[in-house]
A and B are shown apart, each in its own frame.
Chain A
Amino acid sequence: MKRYLIRRIAVMPLLLLGIATLVFAVSRLTPADPLVSIVGERNLNNPDVVNAAKARWGLDDSVPVQYATYMKNLVRGEMGTSFSTRKPVFDDLIDRLPATLELTFTALIGGTAIGIGLGIVAARKRNKLIDHVARFFALIGSSLPAFWSGLLLLYVLYARLGWLPGPGRLEPRSAPPGRITGFYTIDSLLHGNMSLFVQAATHLILPAAVLGWGVIGIVTRLVRASLLDELSMEYVRVGRAMGLRERTVVNTHALRNALLPTITIVAFTFAFLLTGAVLTETVFSWPGVGSYAVDASRNLDFPAIIGVTILGGVAFLITNLITDVAYAFADPRIRLS
């Protein structure tokens, strides 16, 4: 176990290096260069301004030199300065990460809870109407384009009915709570501001629902399948034969075993959540990392593209590691190799 852990962690820097290199290579495929966003279009014909900007942003070095500079900086935690926000990419990401995390955690927790519930119901009422309804609902979740369902829900629940608040993390008029964690819901509570908490929480509902629906789809399917597997096991049949109540069999024995694989869901849904976050944040004007990524790739903002993609890769790596290890702890039968 310990050796496995050490080996997994030891490979991390290598993988990180690979990630950074790959992203750097990708961002240099481009035929366009980002000078314009720096000097402004009117000055593009002015060689003095152009050269000054090139020197200042290191754009006149050769690609290998740029790569070396980039790697050196990266090791120090510097990701360069965004061409469009003109702030260090690292700071931008730190600024925007809490918004994304608050949204994805809400969607993940809500989606997982509902998904487990639906999965259990579906497995216990296998092939009954409720099973079909639950699975159909889940399936829609994993088939819906988030950017469309988001628009649709906004149209109906916000614009038409006015039941839920619109885009953004808070009402435009409200000022965010003083930053402690960057999660508006938590920070507003810490500041004892209940009305702000309600606002932050209600603003989370729509985007988290759009994002969480997909999680429901994934979790329901997995829980149902693994619970059905467990229910077909010898020990369940034995338990039933011994006259144990169905509820006892399912809840105490089968369910515990069936939920083990759902640990992997966290890693499994992470890519899904990030994908969803990119689209959901765009639809809901959510000032997170996803909308930052979209802006960066539209603007050919190289430092920002590199930074955000590396962040995605790193987050993915870490989540994978954590779930693998957690899974190994939870289920000693798993041989780690």
Chain B
Amino acid sequence: MVRYSKSRSRSVMTRTAACAIAGVMILAACGSDPAAPASTSGSGGSTAASVDGGGNTGGDTGGGKALVIARQMDVNSLDPSLAYCDTCQIYMTAVYETLIGLDSSDNQTLVPRLATKWEGNPAQTEFTFTLDPKAVFADGTKVTSADVKFSWERLKALQGSSSYLAGSIETIDTPDESTVVVTLNAPNSAFLAQVNSPYLGIINAKLAQANGATMDPATDTAETWFLSNSAGSGAFALKSYADGNELRLSRNDKFWGAVSEFPEVIIKETPSAVTQRQQLEQGAVDIAMQISADVASGLDSTDVTVTDVPSFNYVYLAISEKAVGGEALTPAVREAIRLALDYDNLVQVTAGGAGQSQASPIPNGFAGSADLPKPVQNIEKAKQLLADAGVTDITLDATFPSLNVYGIDFSTAMQQVQTDLKKVGINLELNPVEIAVWADKIGKDGIPVTMLYFAPDHTDSSQYVQYFSMAEGTQWQGWTKSDPNPEEATVLAQAFATQDATERASLYKQLGQMMIDDQVIIPIVNPDLFLASRSDITGMAYSACCNLDLSKLGRS
């Protein structure tokens, strides 16, 4: 639901997914071969981290200064099987390790992390991972196949928001301590990308079980324990968490990879982008990543480095005919809404011009996004469509979550949408509410016109179809109570079973067009991301899977 992520180069992303798939057959078939240095140096994925992370993370530099990050935290839980938020991505990556990592220097190569190698069968229904024998948890115990089995089965069983990532797992076999064999319930060309997602990080099973973790949401009591303890093998361990105040990580000195130079990392709750900027300017914090274009302008201190990078995040409108009060929203009327919006102006107003519009729910840069027509305003046609539909001067409920994500203030964005739609005779009644209240409403009555945001959970385009299409059982099919579109499900299954990257990209393009034709999701803006840090911080880079990898940061 809530993701920052980025790639330095958009066109690369399309290849990333392709490589991910190619990697099923032959490890690291694309780009340079990161497996070689990793396995020879003997510390797996983390060595790759020190190689590309600015070269400053290696070694025990001892009592350095703590790293401070200003962030609006959206932590829903720190239980690795239940956590699902932007901040959770950073936390999970720092504290729990996945089997496969993503090389953040090019954001395209899958690299070993806990697993030294992996392979899938041609049908993409069975995957085998070999664990690094040197990998240990923070308490010194070895990472074994049983831990992997426990972690993934618990993720699926607890039915948290991130459980869908393990949804395709049928059985997990552990023939020996370092081998994991996963059997899927259907072909899944996105599985390795999903394994790369931070939510599939590995938990110390014994430790977690000793503190109440089970496979059943009804009996599991570990969530509270996880609020003040962690059970991972990553470069950091949880020190303390105070809701609405701060999250503190301490360095894992027993880390089996390159130990961080920061003895402590503090993520400080800082809701306002303005405060984030001020504290960064004053040197009170080292990193701030939720600064909007408006707030970033004028930030030109030599002590601060701001990089403006394209992102995969976007904010969208969702229109629902079946929602209470949305009866007038027939496909033609929904198309009229899409045509009534001034997209260039929306990018100006919402993102200060630092961003772009987006054709389909598959964001710019992902496989299948190329060559789809960007939306264009056409008021005349919109009015014509409305006139033909006999719709004049209607008023619609527009409840939306009162959020400020990726530098975009939803209230500002919705007011601009309201202004645009008023010109064609559609009136919106804006009603900003907290996300919990919003979700309650959309789950029950539905909402005729609303706004939400999305950033990838991993590098495969399939997630967008699984979330935004009207195929049966997707999030938005459920929320809008739309009639299922079986065609989308068919094409998605086809994509899952397709190994050739180009072919899959064209299938996703087809799916993108189908989602446009659904006229349910209208992407508003795909904003750039402002990576702001003190100038002495090294290794600032976004990982397409994991947001910010703390283990790669250093201070010069």
Contact = CB atoms under 8 A, between A and B. Distances in A.
Interface stretch (A17-25, A79-87, A125-133, A204-212): A79-87
Nearest to A158: B278
B279 interface: yes
Interface stretch (A6-14, A34-42, A311-319): A34-42
Interface stretch (B412-420, B439-447, B537-545): B439-447
A87 B70 contact: no
Nearest to A298: B434
Interface stretch (B3-11, B266-274, B485-493): B266-274
A172 B441 contact: no
Contact of B66 (A41, A83, A158, A173): A173
B68 A52 contact: no
Contacts of B77: 86
A95 B242 contact: yes
B36 interface: no
B440 A32 contact: yes
Contact of B161 (A42, A56, A168, A292): A42
A36 B279 contact: no
B70 A172 contact: yes
Contacts of B275: 166-167, 285
Contacts, number: 115
B471 interface: no
Interface stretch (A43-51, A220-228, A322-330): A43-51
B244 interface: yes
A150 to B, nearest CB: 12
A60 interface: no
A171 B439 CA distance: 35
A40 B84 contact: yes
Interface residues of B, number: 50
Interface stretch (B125-133, B183-191, B216-224, B304-312): B216-224
B285 interface: yes
Contacts of A43: 159-161
Interface in B478-529: 478
Nearest to B478: A45
A42 B282 CA distance: 40
A34 B444 CA distance: 12
Interface string A145-160: 0000000000000110
B436 A172 contact: no
A295 interface: yes
Nearest to B277: A159
Given A40-B161, A285-B270, A87 B1 contact: no
A287 interface: yes
Contact of A49 (B65, B159, B266, B278): B159
A95 B440 CA distance: 29
Interface in B152-175: 159-161, 164
A300 B436 CA distance: 8
Given A86-B77, A172-B68, A172-B70, A41 B159 contact: no
B271 A299 contact: no
Contacts of B395: none
Given A166-B284, A291-B244, A172 B279 contact: yes
Interface in A83-98: 83-87, 92, 95
Contacts of A166: 275, 278-279, 282, 284
Given A45-B478, A292-B244, A300-B434, A172 B278 contact: no
B33 to A, nearest CB: 37
A162 interface: yes
B266 A84 contact: no
Given A172-B279, A285-B275, A295-B244, A36 B440 contact: yes
B161 A86 contact: no
A87 B243 contact: yes
B242 A287 contact: yes
B245 interface: yes
A33 interface: yes
A285 B402 CA distance: 18
Given A42-B1, A85-B243, A86-B223, A173 B266 contact: yes
Interface string B67-81: 010100000110000
B349 interface: no
B406 to A, nearest CB: 18
Given A172-B284, A285-B275, A84 B436 contact: yes
Contacts of A45: 443, 478
Contacts of B475: 41-42
A299 B437 contact: yes
B386 to A, nearest CB: 31
Contacts of A92: 243
A45 B475 CA distance: 9
A172 B266 contact: yes
A41 B434 CA distance: 13
A141 B266 CA distance: 37
A41 B218 contact: no
Contacts of B224: 86-87
Contacts of B227: 86-87
Nearest to A95: B242
A131 B325 CA distance: 60
Interface string B224-244: 100100000000000000111
B160 A40 contact: yes
Contacts of B284: 166, 171-173
B294 to A, nearest CB: 15
B65, B246, B440, B478 — which one has the most chain A CB atoms within 10 A of its CB?
A: B440
B84 A287 contact: no
A159 to B, nearest CB: 5
Contacts of A299: 434, 436-437
Contact of A41 (B161, B242, B402): B161
B68, B77, B271, B275 — which one has the most chain A CB atoms within 10 A of its CB?
A: B275
B1 A41 contact: yes
Contacts of B271: 285
B555 to A, nearest CB: 13
B159 A46 contact: yes
A35 B444 CA distance: 11
A158, A172, A295, A301 — which one has the most chain B CB atoms within 10 A of its CB?
A: A172
Contacts of B245: 287
Given A285-B269, A298-B434, A36 B439 contact: yes
Given A34-B436, A173-B68, A44 B443 contact: yes
Nearest to A36: B439
A147 to B, nearest CB: 13
23 contacts: A32-B437, A32-B441, A34-B440, A35-B440, A36-B443, A41-B435, A41-B439, A41-B475, A42-B1, A42-B475, A45-B478, A56-B218, A83-B436, A85-B243, A158-B278, A166-B284, A167-B270, A167-B275, A172-B268, A173-B284, A291-B244, A299-B434, A301-B436
Given A166-B279, A300-B436, A300-B440, 14 more contacts: A40-B160, A41-B1, A42-B161, A43-B160, A44-B440, A84-B436, A85-B243, A167-B270, A171-B284, A173-B285, A287-B269, A292-B244, A298-B402, A300-B437
Interface of A: 32-37, 40-46, 48-49, 52, 56, 83-87, 92, 95, 158-159, 162, 166-168, 171-173, 175, 285, 287, 291-292, 295, 298-301
Interface of B: 1, 65-66, 68, 70, 76-77, 82, 84, 159-161, 164, 217-218, 223-224, 227, 242-246, 248, 266, 268-272, 274-275, 278-279, 282, 284-285, 402, 433-437, 439-443, 475, 478
Closest 4 CB pairs between A and B? A44-B443, A40-B161, A36-B439, A37-B436
